[in-house]
Amino acid sequence: MQITTQPVAADPTVVVLVLEGELDASNYQAVIEAATGARASGAQRLVVDLGAVTFMSSSGLVALHTIALAYAGRPAPAEEEGWQAIHSLGLDVDAGERVAEVRLAAPQGAVIRVLDRTGLSRYFEIHPDRDAAISSF
């Protein structure tokens, strides 16, 4: 997994997190750390560019949910709670909440199917490309 953060020149409060490869248990924590690091450095809104993500496991879902909670100023479920993190994600999706500070851009094939099947496509605004996601704020 390659992880890159790119500030948006036109709006320094927005950062793009570009992910390339498979998002799974081996790297989801690094994704969370990159996103929360950008938040700690002053980013208020985040675009997660999933255009080059070829696979996303349940750990990837936990990463996206944890990032959304961080940008909303809410605590994430403790990692040692394991499946509680997935349960928490389900509760937020079922509540009909929508994330205001995080957008997803360009998910492809298998990734969009995972987002649809888990309901995360209702939780996040999803845009066809990075520019559309940035413009949506």
Phi, psi angle pair for 70, to nearest 5°: -60, -45
Whether the pTM exceeds 0.85: the reply is: yes
What average pLDDT score do residues 108-130 get?
A: 93
**Number of Cβ atoms within 10 Å of the Cβ of 92:** 19
- pLDDT confidence tier of residue 120, bands split at 50, 70 and 90: confident
DSSP reduced 3-state for 52: strand
What average pLDDT score do residues 106-132 get?
A: 94
What average pLDDT score do residues 30-59 get?
A: 97
In this predicted model, what pLDDT tens digit does every residue of 70-108 receive, in sequence order?
999 988 766 665 555 565 665 666 666 778 999 999 999
Fold of domain 2-135: Transcription Regulator spoIIAA (3.30.750)
What average pLDDT score do residues 7-12 get?
A: 94
Give residues with Cβ within 8 angstroms of 41, minimum separation 6.
Answer: none
Locate the domains of the chain by residue range: 2-135
Residue 15 tokens read as: 């950062």
Report the share of the chain in percent with pLDDT over 70. Answer: 85
Say what the pLDDT of residue 3 is. 98
| Cα–Cα distance for residue pair 87/91, rounded to 1 Å | 6
For residues 75 and 12, which has the higher predicted lDDT (pLDDT)?
12
